[in-house]
Structure 1
Amino acid sequence: MNHMPQAANFRPATEIDTLMPDIADPVAAADFPRTILRYRNDRAAASVGLGGLSDDQWIAHFGRFTPLDGSLPRPLALRYHGHQFRHYNPDIGDGRGFLFAQMRDGAGRLLDLGTKGSGQTPYSRFGDGRLTLKGGVREILATEMLEALGVNTSKTFSIIETGEALERNDEPSPTRGAVMVRLSHSHIRIGSFQRAAFHDDTPLLERLTDYALTRLYGDAPGDNPSAQLLGRVVERAADLAASYMVAGFVHGVLNSDNINITGESFDYGPWRFTPLWDAHFTAAYFDHAGLYAFGRQAEAIHWDVAQLAISLRPLVDAPPLIAQLERFPTLYGEAMQRRFCWRLGVEPGADPGPMIEAAVRGMVTSDTPIDRFFHDWRGGAAHDATAYGDTAWSAFREAIVAFTAVPGAKEHGYWSDGAPCSMHIEEVEAIWSAIDRDDDWTPLYAKVAAIRRMGEAHGPAPITP
């Protein structure tokens, strides 16, 4: 992932048409009372040739959903199933969002613009199809922070306030409404394959597999396309799970309908960053069993990928699928080492495993915040060695001396800051409170700028397989 995407010309696409009409339903966007532009991600827009839009054009496309020339003529609500907290649900799909447009970035990758809060669809069930403004603000903060910490994530592209007052049972109501647009490397999910398998639609499974391999991964199908695709998803998913851990992030709802077939993180609801390396830390108040706790995320993602393997069984015998699934633990371990060393700013060396284990043990034993640890030890030498002088850190102090700093690891001025840039729940609530109470957006915009500065200091993340 590159923190400074190159400007590109707008290159519209309609690749999803190859899966129609079996993957989605044409829908219309809600007609909102107002469209107040609150956030436009010009960095992301430039990467797909949309940075030059005026604010009026922006609102027309991303608040009123006038089609982008050459892309999809009308929005599509995607169909999918999924396991939600391990319970299969065939009654889901895009209930408050749709696929609005497709395009290619400067590198030729096929990307989607999808929505959240754009109105009711055939899959809304009893929902109003809307998004709270607070939910949109939270998604900005999640995606910006994750991108800066090297996670392969969707980008929050646009937030437009809609002038609607929404009623919600789990937060103070009425609350302000918004419509969000996200830029993603596909909105095809594991749940998309589960739905096709559920309906015994083998031709659709074959078309989904071909679409994912050829249009999303850029692979030529080999002798066993199903196992080939599963292998690619295993690689990306293992890397995603490791990236969450190194970022100290808890997604909160790792259901199979929330796992993108490209291994890109998206759809942020009750997310949190855990201050401490606490395996039991959960993000969702309704996750009573801790199924998606910080320390169980790799297990959860691996389980979801296994559901993809089960969905692919009509196309291939089990052994090659099992062989791909069994690669996950090793790939996860390798990704943890690669990403931990990246955030620490040291070369991986021969075997960083013991060093990482010592670091985690030190954080757990001493209650040292995750962000503080990585900031203090950037480049392999502590800012303040006295703060790490007790026995909790003795094994790490001995291990880290064998690792050399990445060239330029501490050159950016960020590393001289007295405290790391963090994103914990108290600050999230304070940023929202300023908007809710005083309509003051300054803290949000200032935080986004601070997060991007941290991203520049870290530099490009390790290349995802």
Structure 2
Amino acid sequence: MSVTSRYSPDPRFAALGDEFSDAVEPADFPQAHLRWWNARWAQEVGLDGLDDAQRQAHFHRFSPLPDNQPQPRALRYHGHQFRVYNPQIGDGRGFLFAQLRDSQDRLLDFGTKGSGQTPYSRSGDGRLTLKGAVREVLASEMLEALGVYTSKTFAIFETGEQLHRGDEPSPTRSAVMTRLQHSHLRFGVFQRHAYHDRPDLISELVEYAIEHLVPEAAELEGDRAAALLEAVVRRSAKLAAQWMAAGFVHGVLNTDNLVVTGESFDYGPWRFLPYFEPGFTAAYFDQQGLYEYARQPESVFWALQQLAAALSLVGERDGLIQALESYPDHYKREITRAFHHRLGLEALGDDSDGALVSGLLNAGRELQIPFEAMIFDWFGGEASRERALHSDRSGLYRQDAFAPVIEALSARTPVRPERLSHSYFQREDPVHLTIDHVEGLWAPIAESDDWSAFEQTLADVGEARRAYDLGRDQVGFLSE
């Protein structure tokens, strides 16, 4: 059987018409070597019954899934790239392949990366390096484990082509990747139609988004565009806070890399913090630090302003402004919530919540405590005191600079402290994906096709996900 009863096809976006996307043909790749298959999510969407030949047919050659979109569609969008408007972009090496419903009846997209040239490829070859695909699965799996609302890397096939790139040793191996996420409706889709002065098309997108992607907007006051923006502002503030609590730097927060569902996706030059450092950047080409760690909330807010400008063609001005003005309050609430979630603690609901977060980060910076290890050691607060003070970092925690942090942590109640009984918390060190480790995973793949370190790291990431979510093993997207 190719699909199970969980499979629920629902191709909606293509029905909007040719003004929003273009029918395209996938590339004809010379080889197909399956390098990653997300068995957990395949089961969730009813595709765990696919055999090897069917996986290859649907996620390498991109033959249509049953009763689904008959042909891939390259989405039309523009965007601000490093705050410079670019009307020459769109899906240049990817497309919308299919849409389906999850177990909670939410609409999901299958989108691709490296699937060939489209009308928006310009001078690009439409391909993806295997290293890029490996980095994508590492980012999405790790972020999911840390509680970030993220796309899921669904399938990766190595394709047998040799690619030439200016920013890594060439020739290099190639791959095609499929991601699963709630939406590929980027801010830049709205911007494109505003650029062409098409309020009619923007109105269609607003209705599509509210009906299928951001249903809570239907319950908000104001006109439809302002209500949508308010919901997107809330979701985006939450995402920015989750990135900060994960110590994650996306690297390229252009308006075409942000979607209305408030979902993290499209992982290029990302990095995780080795230590708390506000000015830490991910992309070598971000020489001005526009998208550095500490500026990510600001960058998201700037992008929301560009979305509001596009929506102003159909929305009421005061309502749009009011929605934007709510961002700082939403972010302030979400950042304390996100850090308390990561620490497994209940917030007190007063100013001490923010003081705990800033105190923890400042002490970590002063003492140069590895970011992920600090969160790991003190997960559960007081319940982890003995564990933390006997860790390899115990000497740092015994410094005077960390004493106020321990006092603040002890004032909070652990959430589900039974999670500390998981074997993950018996480890000396947490799994982490700082750049040296990521490069160390790629080296044996490039040199001798040895995937063992990569596979072990993903197994460790899976253990972390189960430990943090002990007793729930949540499969649903973290959007609520």
- Residue aligned with 1:13, SS: coil
Q: Which moved more, 1:379-388 or 1:250-259?
A: 379-388
Structure 1 residue 446 corresponds to structure 2 residue 456: yes
Q: Which residue of 2 aligns with 1:42?
A: 39
Q: What is the CA–CA distance in structure 2 between the aligned matches of 1:101 and 1:317, rounded to whole Å?
A: 34
* Alignment correspondent of 1:391: 400
Which residue is equivalent to 1:343?
Answer: 342
Q: Which residue of structure 2 aligns with residue 326 of structure 1?
A: 325
| Deviations 1:82-114 (CA, angstroms, capped at 9, x unpaired) | 000000000000000000000001110100001
CA contact (8 A) 2:223 2:316 kept: no
Mapping of residues 25-104 of structure 1, within 5 Å: 25-104=22-101
Counterpart AA for 1:375: F
Q: CA deviation at 1:397?
A: 2.1
- TM-aligned CA distance change 1:463 to 1:97, over 3 Å: closer
Q: TM-score, normalised by structure 1?
A: 0.96
Aligned partner of residue 12 in structure 1, secondary structure: coil
Superposition RMSD on alpha carbons, in Å? 1.5
Compared CA separation, residues 271 and 8, structure 1 to 2 (3 A): farther
1:340, distance to aligned residue in structure 2 (A): 0.7
Distance 2:388 2:145 in 1: 24
- State the partner residue of 2:156: 159
Q: 1:209·1:226 contact (CA, 8 Å) conserved in 2?
A: yes
- Say which SS state the counterpart of residue 80 (structure 2) adopts: strand
- Deviation >4 Å, runs of 4+: 460-465
Partner Cα distance (2:439, 2:259) in 1: 28
Residue in 1 that maps onto 2:274: 275
Give the counterpart of 1:217 among 214, 219, 240.
214
Amino acid at match of 2:369: T
What is the aligned partner in structure 1 of residue 415 from structure 2?
A: 406
Are 2:110 and 2:179, in contact at CA under 8 Å, matched by a contact in 1? yes
Q: Does 1:138 align with 2:135?
A: yes
- Offset of 1:342 from its aligned partner? 1.1
Q: Distance in 2 between matches of 1:463 and 1:335?
A: 14
1: distance between equivalents of 2:248 and 2:336? 17
For residues 259 and 191 of structure 1, the distance between their equivalents in structure 2, rounded to whole angstroms, comes to 8
Instruction: Show CA shifts across 1:176-222 (max 9, x none).
Output: 11100000111110000000111110110000000011111234476
Does the 8 A contact of 1:113 with 1:181 survive in 2?
A: yes
**More displaced stretch, 400-409 vs 181-190:** 400-409
Q: Residue type of the partner of 2:441?
A: I
Q: Which amino acid aligns with 2:208?
A: Y
Alpha-carbon distance in 2 for matches of 1:402, 1:19: 53
Which sections of structure 2, spanning at least 5 residues, go unmatched?
none
Please identify, of 266-275 and 394-403, the stretch whose mean Cα deviation from structure 2 is larger: 394-403
Q: Of residues 133, 145, 148 in structure 2, which corresponds to 1:148? A: 145
Secondary structure in structure 1 of the residue aligned to 2:149: coil
Aligned twin of 1:355: 356
Could you tell me which amino acid in structure 2 is paired with residue 138 of structure 1?
R
The amino acid of 1:384's aligned partner reads A
- Tell me the equivalent position of 1:378: 379
Task: Give the equivalent residue in structure 2 for 1:306.
Answer: 305
**Structure 1 stretches lacking a partner, 5+ long:** 1-6
Q: What is the TM-score when the length of structure 2 is the normalising length?
A: 0.93
What CA distance in whole angstroms lies between the structure 2 residues aligned with 1:318 and 1:395?
A: 46
> Counterpart of 1:231?
230
- Structure 2 CA distance for aligned equivalents of residues 258 and 329 of structure 1: 21
- Conservation of the 8 A alpha-carbon contact between 1:378 and 1:409: no
Structure-2 change in CA distance of 1:391 and 1:8 (3 Å): farther
Work out whether residues 14 and 21 of structure 2, in 8 Å CA contact, stay in contact via their aligned partners in 1.
no
Displacement after TM superposition at 1:337 (Å): 1.1
Q: Is the 8 A contact 1:8 1:47 kept in 2?
A: no
State the partner residue of 1:435. Answer: 445
Distance 1:405 1:8, change over 3 A: farther
Number of aligned positions between the proteins = 459
- Tell me how far apart the structure 1 counterparts of residues 52 and 454 of structure 2 sit (CA, whole Å): 19
What is the aligned-residue identity percentage? 49
Contact 2:213 2:261 in 1 (8 A): yes
Task: Give the whole-Å Cα distance in 1 for the aligned partners of 2:432 and 2:440.
Answer: 13
Q: Is 1:425 aligned to 2:435, yes or no?
A: yes
Q: Structure 1 pair 276/8, CA: closer, same or farther in 2 (3 Å)?
A: farther
1:391 Cα deviation (Å)?
Answer: 2.0
Structure 2 CA distance for partners of 1:159 and 1:338, relative to 1, 3 Å: same
Give deviations 1:97-132, integer Å, cap 9, x for gaps.
000000001110100001000000000000000000
Give the Cα–Cα distance (whole angstroms) in 2 for the partners of residues 71 and 412 of structure 1. Answer: 41
> Which residue does 2:366 correspond to in 1?
365
CA distance in 1, matches of 2:269, 2:233: 25
2:183 partner SS: coil
C-alpha spacing 1:463/1:315, structure 2 compared with 1 (3 Å): same
1:10 to 2:7 alignment: yes
Match 2:187 to one of 187, 190, 205: 190
CA drift of 1:223 comes to 4.8
